Amino acid sequence: MSAAQRRTKRIMMISTHGYVAAEPEFGKPDTGGQVVYVLELSKCLARMGYRVDILTRRFEDQAAVEQVSDRVRVLRFACGGSDFIPKETLYEAIPEWVENAVHYIRSKKLNYTFINSHYWDAGLAGQALSNRLDVPHFHTPHSIGSWKRDNMDGDRKDNNTKYNFERRIREEKVVYDECDQLIATTPKQREILEYTEYDIPPEKINVIPPGYDDQRFFPVSRASRTALKEELGMQGQMVLALGRMAKNKGYDLLIKGMPAVFNRIPDARLMLAVGSSDPPESEIQQINELKKLAEELGIADRILFHGYIPDEQLADYYRAADVFCLCSRYEPFGMTAVEAMACGTPTVITTEGGLWEQVVWGSDALYANPFDPEAYGHAIAAIMQHAEVTNRLSRFGSQKARMKFTWTGIAQQLLQLLETTQSQRMQLEDRVTERRTPAEEAGWKRAAALS
């Protein structure tokens, strides 16, 4: 397809939950790696000549339309009132959202090449729009209900009540069955989709990993890293963990693993840059629980609770750290770990997620079981104790990120998927047409023209 043809093509991205915006407020509820994924992929597709509309929910005092760049915009449609709705219950308002979206799309005479929905709430919306508009639908789950259910701590019945797993898994199954293509972000996700209760045909599942912005996240010289460390007030050998304040992120498990580090590395410190810029009371309570845990372990004086790091400063914090840790209880992918690797920072990741299967242990990164805090701590200490390990992980980790996880390569894979789907749809249409009489085919065409 030529660049001129692409300029007339429009792609629909759907991410209904959280605070989706041109400049997202990371750390706000339900606003993290998925928002980055959708924005960066959209920008990359725009650079390749497409126009991209990101459809999300409108609430609070948000504008109906927000321009991200010349070819990317956010379109917001109201549903379920004007207050924030957590992603666990947003599905109840999706039918209203779909009606408002369809009305806008038809009133503006917008035509889309394909729909790419993200997470199960948007999957419900995406499939409804696909059916109404007759547009191919690619669904990216990001997180899979059965996997999250099976890997959560606590009472299973309580978790099911809080997270609506029964309803979620039932709705996921419908979306996965009806969409044109499923995009798993890791081989582990593909395995779950194919072999568990979802039972999806393998030919429908495509593994396309998330990406990172290689214009922002890249290595710098050792001298620059040292200067950044001084500028940001990082003293000693610094372990960094950052992200949303959520139990699945495993910050408590990381704290439990730090004595194994501190016993071996006298000047080691841990910086926890977690939570949002304006944390609600529930988030403050969770952070206080982490502080209490550090005090009980006698290591409170060696842990810095930094709070939210603005997006524009992330790369410098990654570069200034000696080790980056992703210690999640469960993690569909782990975008922050890839960004840290891309910056040349040695990284220890969780085995309870999808990324560890895509890296070479001891070359690209180290990984350890977060539920074995001592083993996780030993992995961190091994990097700090051995310069050759640090140098190897820094070099090969950044190389792996550039080779496997850039947005350009991911956008190209998505467009290749479009070509495959269009071919499959044409073949199916030809087979259906062959089975109809001329009168029946004429009737179907009249019905399509009226819809």
Q: Minimal CA–CA distance to 12: which of 77, 59, 85, 95? A: 77
Q: How far, rounded to the nearest angstrom, does the alpha carbon of residue 437 sit from its chain's CA centroid?
A: 47
158-168 per-position pLDDT tens digit: 888 888 899 99
Q: Give the torsion sign (CA, 372, 378, 380, 382).
A: negative
Residue 268's pLDDT is what? 98
Residue 444's pLDDT is what? 52
Q: Taking the domains of the chain in order of start, what are their residue ranges?
A: 3-208+407-450, 222-404
- In the three-class reduction of DSSP (H, G, I as helix; E, B as strand; rest coil), residue 112 is classed as coil
| Pairing label, strands 51-58, 181-184 | unpaired
The residue whose two tokens read 């919306």 is 125
DSSP, res 331: B
361 Cβ contact partners less than 8 Å away, ≥ 6 residues apart:
367
Q: Which DSSP string corresponds to 92-106?
A: GGHHHHHHHHHHHHH
Q: And the tokens for 240? A: 């960094």
pLDDT for 23 beyond 80? yes
Q: Average pLDDT of 404-424? A: 89
Percent of the chain with pLDDT over 70: 93
Residue 186's pLDDT is what? 87
The residue whose two tokens read 């924030």 is 84
Q: And the tokens for 305? A: 């609770």
Q: Average pLDDT of 104-112? A: 98
The domain defined by 222-404 folds into: Rossmann fold (3.40.50)
Q: Average pLDDT of 113-125? A: 98
Residue 432's pLDDT is what? 46
282-314 per-position pLDDT tens digit: 899 999 999 999 999 999 999 999 988 988 999
- Residues present in the chain in total: 451
Q: And the tokens for 324? A: 């980056």
* d(C-alpha 32, C-alpha 110), whole Å: 29
Q: And the tokens for 194? A: 């194919």
What confidence tier does 437 reach under pLDDT thresholds 50, 70, 90? Answer: low
Residue 441's pLDDT is what? 54
Q: Select the more confidently predicted residue: 50 or 442.
A: 50
49-98 per-position pLDDT tens digit: 999 999 999 999 999 999 999 999 999 999 999 999 999 999 999 999 99
- 270 and 294 in contact (C-beta within 8 Å)? no
* d(C-alpha 380, C-alpha 436), whole Å: 66
251-287 per-position pLDDT tens digit: 999 999 999 999 999 999 999 999 888 888 989 999 9
* d(C-alpha 95, C-alpha 81), whole Å: 13
Whole-structure pTM value: 0.77
Residue 332's pLDDT is what? 78
The domain defined by 3-208+407-450 folds into: Rossmann fold (3.40.50)
Q: Minimal CA–CA distance to 227: which of 342, 324, 320? A: 320
